């Protein structure tokens, strides 16, 4: 796909909405729903909080954030390696790069292929590695 202004803006929109705005909306909805459910089941709590959702939100956040942080820490320490391994097994670009390295070590890569790969990697490191329609897959072809 050609990287143009609109496709990049679409990617930015999806990340901004899905990661940031979506999270804040979800978090606000969670507080509102928990407040409504708690007050419905235990009306006396509303009077303890001064019939104020702000007080509830402060208490909710004070409890929720540390619990979520502990769960996130557990996830990072115990589940992260599982996710990374699964993503590694699906990473076609990474596989191409590692196969190139193996072929290079084994002497199966000629000077032209080394130069092409080096130029491509230098473009990527300079932020100029965007795909264009004239790109071909000859640099990414790896024989089995």
Mean pLDDT of 69-87: 87
pLDDT more than 70, % of the chain: 86
Q: What is the pLDDT of residues 97-143, one digit of tens each?
A: 888 888 888 888 888 988 888 888 888 888 776 555 444 444 444 44
- SS3 of 86-133: the string is HHHHHCHHHHHHHHHHHHHHCCCCCHHHHHHHHHHHHHHHCCCCCCCC
Confidence band for 3, pLDDT divided at 50, 70 and 90: low
Q: Answer yes or no: are the C-beta atoms of 100 and 117 closer than 8 Å.
A: yes
> What's the rounded Cα separation, in Å, for the pair 52 and 57?
9
> What's the rounded Cα separation, in Å, for the pair 60 and 49?
12
pLDDT more than 90, % of the chain: 17
């Amino acid at each position: 796909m050609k990287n143009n202004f609109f496709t990049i803006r679409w990617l930015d929109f999806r990340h901004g909405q899905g990661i940031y705005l979506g999270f804040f909306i979800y978090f606000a909805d969670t507080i509102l729903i928990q407040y409504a459910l708690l007050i419905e089941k235990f009306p006396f709590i509303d009077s303890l909080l001064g019939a104020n959702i702000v007080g509830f939100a402060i208490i909710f956040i004070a409890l929720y954030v540390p619990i979520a942080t502990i769960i996130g820490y557990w996830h990072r320490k115990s589940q992260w390696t599982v996710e990374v391994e699964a993503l590694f097994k699906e990473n076609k670009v990474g596989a191409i790069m590692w196969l190139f390295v193996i072929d290079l070590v084994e002497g199966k890569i000629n000077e032209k292929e080394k130069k092409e790969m080096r130029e491509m990697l230098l473009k990527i490191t300079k932020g100029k590695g965007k795909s264009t329609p004239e790109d071909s897959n000859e640099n990414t072809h790896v024989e089995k």
